[in-house]
Structure formats: C-alpha cells, structure tokens
Structure 1
Amino acid sequence: MAGWSLVKVAMLTDCYPPRLGGIESQVRDLSRRLVAAGHAVEVFTATTGPGGERGGATTTGDDGVTVHRLAIPLPGGVPVNPFARREVRRRLRAGAFEVAHAHLGVVSPFASELVPVALGLDLPVTATFHCVIDRSVGVFRTIGHLARWANRGVAMNAVSTMAATRVSAAAGDAPVEVVPNGIDAAWWRDGAEVARPGHEPRDGRAVHVVTATRLASRKRPLALLGVLRGARQILDPAVPLRATVVGEGPQRRALERYVRTRGLDWVELPGRVGRDELRRLHHGADAYLTTARLEAFGIAALEGRAAGLPVVAPRGTGVDDFVSDGVEGLLGGSDVEIAGALAHLAADDALRAGLRQHVLTTPPAQDWAGVLGAVLGEYRRAGAPTT
C-alpha cells in the first residue's frame, strides 16, 4: 500500500483453513491481502493441513502465504500444542520477522502462549480479539495476562466497538483499538439491483428473509425461528413471507423439528451453500435476519448488508458498528422487538426500498482497503517499521 514500507509478519493463530470458521477465514484473507500488497506473511498454527500436514510441516501456497503446521495428533484435530513454544521461538528468531500478529478467541491457548515468546524475542506484537469476552472479564482480570501484555507494549485491538470495550475491561482498562474484519464489498454488491425510490420491489411475491449462520446454540438459531414465527403472527395474512436459513451445525435436527411441528412450511433449511450461491440468494431477497447476541462482529450480516439487504438484528452486538437503526436496517432489544421490527419491514414496501437503496449506494467502511490500513496502523502502534 502506498505510504507504507513492506513488513514481514508472523501470524499466530490456533485455527487456520482447511478448518472452517470466522477466525480461520479472516486470518487467511488478511494474510492473502497483505501478500498481495507486497508484504511477507508466515502463519504459525496448531491446525492440521489439508493433506494431514503437522509436526512443523511448512508449505507455501499459490497465494504466497507460508504456513507452519505445528499440530500434534489429538482426537478430533483439536488445535492445541503445548510443546510448540521452543520450536516457534527458533523459527521466529531465524525468520527475520518485523511484527507478530496474534489472533484470539475466548479460548486460544496456542496463540496466547506464543505472545510471550514473540515478546521475549523483542518482536513488536499486536493482538486481535475476534471474540466477546463477557462473563470471562473477571477471570481475565484475575489472571492478569492481558494487562501484562499491555504493559509490555502489545497493541491490542478487537473487531468491534462492543468487543473492544470488553477486552479493555479485561485488560485493566488498557487502550484497545477497533480493527474490524474485512470483506470485499464490491464483490457482494456486484449484480444487485438498486431499488428506485417509490418502486414497489415485491411485485406480489413473498417477502424473502435470508440468514446465514452456524446452526449451533451460541448463534441462537432456534430463537431465530421463534422470531420468524412471531413476525408471521404479527403480519397481515395478506403479506406473504418466506425465509431461507443457510448453514449447518449440531442443532439442525432441532430446527427441522421446530419447522415441522409449528407449521413453518415457508422456512427453508438448505444447508451450507457456496459464496456465489449465497450472494445470489442475497440479491433475490428482501432482508437479512440475525438473532445472535454473542456476536463480536457479525461477518455474515455485513455480507448481507454489502449485498444490498437491510439487516434486522439485536441491539448491542458487533453489528452496531455497521447497522444504525432506521438507516441500514432495524435493531431490537429483545426477540419480541426484533420480531416486531421484521414484521414492520416486511409490511412496509417503501421502507424496504429506501433502506435497500441506501445500503447499496453507501459501501460499508469494513471494506478490505480500509481494514488493511487499520491493520498496518496497529503494526506501527506496536513498533513495527511500517512508515
């Protein structure tokens, strides 16, 4: 990027593809974007490679990212390696790195153990928190490692304002910046039609609500079905409604049972779909719905917003950073309020058209161009030679 000198980055992360998840995807995409901008990136992870690579195996992909696979044989491929510190120290010392970037969830033993290793080598360190530290704030303050990191110059950041506030509290009120996850906003928007003012976008068809989520209790998919059901009960029967809940996970059977026993035959559960298919769904839909409350960021909701969908979501999550109530969507404090907001949006064609026009003509600030600048700013704050 213009104005920045090139740096060599050691990414420290428990999880990395082919393992699936939000942190894994973000670390991979960030690494690729940095390499494409001319920086050098090597990833240190406890995740097994696509061909079973582990035990320190090192590969460099077509994307130019070098990956050190320090996984050990554990049941279920759990990304933990308590014996990796010495080998990682050796590789960091030999690699002439200029900054280490740790990526952390609520529980990240691998990356957490490597932060002191990098500090011991006098490497500048930045740490990104991709999680909601909520009930664990007291535990983190008692353990004290985040405050110690801050005292040793670690530049700490989190993916949303809500997440950063909690990390700061857990770190003894140390400064924590906001560095959001990144998306390719133009790609999600490509092919979407901007609604014309006054145009009735439904034309007699059902109002289509889309969700993309992991079907796991933390994401509250059963609550989401309850919100859909509540909205249907509020709506005028003359307004047709349908929903598509994309994703897989351990609660799938419970969702199928809920749909069957409560007569929600207008709700589809197609399973996991590819990015192209998800974009197509977004472009043909009218609203994006999420009921997740422990949402540090909300990448799926941001993708929906970038694709032109007004977002209906709980208030007080990471979604607040890119959805203002009545501007990019509607927010509610309780599930009852969220159901009411969704019903209001479904019933008001002009409101939907206006919100859609706004989100399609106002790209989100979390596009990769801005996010890369924020990441490099954190490298500079940590002490790396980036300017």
Structure 2
Amino acid sequence: MRIALVSDVYLPALGGIELQVHDLGVHLIRAGHDVTIYTLQEGQAAGVPVVRLPSMAGMPLPSSVDRLRSELGSFDIVHAHSSIVSPLAWRAARLARSAIVTVHSLPGPTMPWPLATLDRYMGKVGWTAVSGAVANVIRRALPGRTVDVLHNGVDPAAWRSPQRPEHPLTIVSTMRLARRKRPLALLDTLAAIRDLVPSHIPLRGVIAGAGPRERALDARRQDFAPWVELPGRLTRYELRQLYASADVYLAPAELESFGVAALEARCAGLPVVAMSTGGVGEFVRNGIEGYLVDTDNEMARTTAALLMTPAVLNRLQQYNQHTLPSMTWERVIAQHVAAYQAQLVLREGSLASAS
C-alpha cells in the first residue's frame, strides 16, 4: 500500500506527534508498505522519505498546496495527523482521494474547536483519535460520525533495562516544560510528597524536558524543592537509564490526549500515577499499572502511600516490567492498516453509488 503521512510538525523538532509520526512511518515500512511523510518542518531526519514543504508563519505556501495537489493522488491513502491547529494536515485531507485524520490533541473545555467546520471542509474523511478521551470529544462535536481509536505505539523491549542499580526512592516525569503540561504544579506535588514521606527516607525527584517554563521551574525548584533535578531534554537512551534508577512516574497534565512518555515509563517497569481526565487511562488501571487521580493533592497522597508500601510498589513494578501493554507496534500497525483498508472500501462504495 502507498501511504502518505502528513503532519505540520515533524523531526528534528521533538514532541509527541513528531516522534509518533516518525515511528509510525518506520514500522509501516518494515511491514512492507511504501511510505512518504509530508511536513512543513525544516531540518533533516533519517529513516523515512520526507517531503519538506515551504511555509510562512505556519501556513503552507501556494507552491506547497500545488505540490500536494499533484502528488497525493498517487497514494492509496493519505493519513493526516492533526493537533489543535494543523493547516497542512487539513488541506492534505481535503485534496486526497481517500484520507483518514487522526487527532492527537485534547482541547481545553473553554477552547473553541470548530470540528464541524473542519468536517465540512475536508469532506468524506475517516475520523480517528489517539485515545477514547479524544474520540469522545470529536463524537460530541460530530454527532452521527464514526470516530475510531488509533492508539500511539511503543516498543516495550526498548524501554526495559536488565539491571536496576541501587538508588534512593526516585520519582520521575518527562514532559515539554509548557503551561499545558503543568510542570509548576508537578513541582508543588513533589514538595507535598516530600512532606508526606518521613524525613529520614531519602527522596530524589527528576523532571526531564525543556520548554518555555524551564526558567520559572528552576527558580521555583531552588526555593521549594532543591532535591528535585532538572536535567533538561534527554534522549531515549538517557531516559531508559533514568527509568532504570527510578520507582514511580507522575503524569500531572489534565489535558493529556494519550501520554506516550507515561506509556514508555510503564514499559520500563514504573507504576504511573496520572490525572484521570486524559488518555493515560487507556493503559493504566488502578492498582494494576498504577493509579488515576482527580487532583494534585490526591496525586501527592497516592504517590507517598505507594513509596511507603514496598510490597505494593514492587508488585506494580514487576507487573509493568513483565506484562506487555496492548499498544505494541505490531498491534498498532495492524489497527492502522485495517483503518486504511476500511476507508478505501468506503471510497470505492461511494464511487460505485455515484456512478
């Protein structure tokens, strides 16, 4: 199958969509498909053929649209990857003979999101989402439309470490240090955990990542939680080493559409404590892979209790270390190919009806 993956953002920029689109392309190629990625992102990245289109202020130039119009017709399916604002992905879906759109973002409750307008603009596309939480938002905006879930994928073996060195009880989180991810709230939660855990028990906290809130986070850390480390953005190898010397992973974002970083930590054997409002619940069940909570205070209390109950902590770690999640790339690729084939069948049916 000839497949075009279209994403406004892509490597070498780093983020959830960027990495997932790249990995999806790599695994589709390994499964025998012909894949090309179209993006507005400048730079270089290996592994998948990439067409980097010119843009201005995040909008594709007319020459970019012309190229999409001339080239997308040669693909069996166009898979557009959409965030809250993704003009290239939306335009590609409109121009494609057969397309599906995967929504990767969860909007805030007061954020205007004109999905009905987009649906009319793009035409007969197949709507999908990275989690049930995102799919439910789309279904409410587009009553009567089918919205399937196409999960993000993970390679569990890449996150397992054969050895776990001796270390103090360690709490970790990985995120883009931006307001939406709530890094400052996480720092307050870590300070609350320190107050709840007896002072004679050493604790280590690590918040990995970079972003616009980095300076404010560091200033606040020095005042309230100097025991928390901010190592900056880490590679996947460095994250694996970090998780091998950690005990619990925290996911404080309230609008987490899926939570790839949390899934990777879960595959490394870490119990995940996350907000119940996002997509992390797709792979975390209370008392099995971790815990879902409703407030920052509940996150602090739950994490402190887990750290002080070694038997429960070890049970969750062992389960996560030795039990595969359902979002392995083998299963995720099968889901994607089935969605592509279903959309092609719908298109052929529409053409037959029109004739």
Instruction: Using structure 2 for the length normalisation, give the TM-score.
Output: 0.92
Q: Which one-letter code corresponds to 1:241 in the other structure?
A: L
Pairing 1:69–2:52 present: yes
> 2:92 & 2:240 partners in 1: Cα distance?
37
Matching residue of 1:305? 266
Give percent identity, aligned residues only: 37
When the two chains are superposed, the root-mean-square deviation of aligned CA atoms in Å is 2.0
User: How far is 1:382 from its partner?
Assistant: 0.7
Matching residue of 2:83? 105
Matching residue of 2:26? 32
Structure 1, gaps ≥5 residues long: 1-6, 51-60, 194-200
User: How far is 1:80 from its partner?
Assistant: 2.2
Pairing 1:376–2:354 present: no
> 2:39 & 2:102 partners in 1: Cα distance?
15
Of 142, 146, 169, the match for 2:140? 169
Matching residue of 1:132? 106
Q: Which one-letter code corresponds to 1:362 in the other structure?
A: T
Q: Which one-letter code corresponds to 2:52 in the other structure?
A: R
Of 168, 177, 188, the match for 1:215? 177
Matching residue of 2:223? 261
For residues 112-134 of structure 1, the C-alpha deviation after alignment (integer angstroms, 9 at most, x for no partner) is: 1221111xxxx221111111134
User: How far is 1:146 from its partner?
Assistant: 2.1
Q: Which one-letter code corresponds to 2:70 in the other structure?
A: R
User: Greater CA deviation, 163-172 or 32-41?
Assistant: 163-172
Pairing 1:232–2:194 present: yes
User: How far is 1:224 from its partner?
Assistant: 0.3
Asked if structure 1 preserves the Cα contact closer than 8 Å seen for 2:161 and 2:240, the reply is no
Matching residue of 1:319? 280
Of 47, 51, 59, the match for 1:80? 59
Q: Which one-letter code corresponds to 1:348 in the other structure?
A: T
User: How far is 1:85 from its partner?
Assistant: 2.1
For residues 57-101 of structure 1, the C-alpha deviation after alignment (integer angstroms, 9 at most, x for no partner) is: xxxx763x32211123x4xxx5421423222111223xx211110
Which structure has the higher relative contact order (CA within 8 Å, separation 6+)? 1
Structure 2, gaps ≥5 residues long: 347-355
Instruction: Using structure 1 for the length normalisation, give the TM-score.
Output: 0.84
Q: Which one-letter code corresponds to 2:217 in the other structure?
A: L
Q: Which one-letter code corresponds to 2:118 in the other structure?
A: H
Please show how residues 290-369 of structure 1 align to structure 2 within 5 Å.
290-369=251-330
What secondary structure, in the 3-state scheme, does the structure 1 residue paired with 2:291 have? strand
For residues 210-243 of structure 1, the C-alpha deviation after alignment (integer angstroms, 9 at most, x for no partner) is: 1111111111000000111111112222322111
User: Greater CA deviation, 371-380 or 231-240?
Assistant: 231-240
Asked if structure 1 preserves the Cα contact closer than 8 Å seen for 2:161 and 2:244, the reply is no
Q: Which one-letter code corresponds to 2:215 in the other structure?
A: R
Matching residue of 1:275? 236
Of 214, 239, 249, the match for 1:252? 214
Cα 1:307–1:139 shift into 2, 3 Å: closer
Matching residue of 1:42? 36
Matching residue of 1:54? none
Cα 1:137–1:247 shift into 2, 3 Å: closer
